[in-house]
Chains A and B, each alone.
Chain A
Amino acid sequence: GIQVEQSPPDLILQEGANSTLRCNFSDSVNNLQWFHQNPWGQLINLFYIPSGTKQNGRLSATTVATERYSLLYISSSQTTDSGVYFCAVEGPTGGFKTIFGAGTRLFVKA
Chain B
Amino acid sequence: DTGVSQDPRHKITKRGQNVTFRCDPISEHNRLYWYRQTLGQGPEFLTYFQNEAQLEKSRLLSDRFSAERPKGSFSTLEIQRTEQGDSAMYLCASSPGSEQFFGPGTRLTVL
Contact = CB atoms under 8 A, between A and B. Distances in A.
Q: Do A and B bind each other?
A: yes
Interface string B15-44: 000000000000000010101010001111
Interface of B: 31, 33, 35, 37, 41-45, 48, 50, 55-56, 58, 89, 91, 93, 98-102, 104-105, 107
Contacts, number: 57
B99 A100 contact: no
B75 to A, nearest CB: 14
Contact of B56 (A31, A43, A95): A95
Interface of B is mostly: strand
Interface residues of A, number: 22
A96 B48 contact: yes
Given A41-B89, A97-B48, A86 B104 contact: no
B42 A45 contact: no
Contacts of B98: 30-31, 48, 50
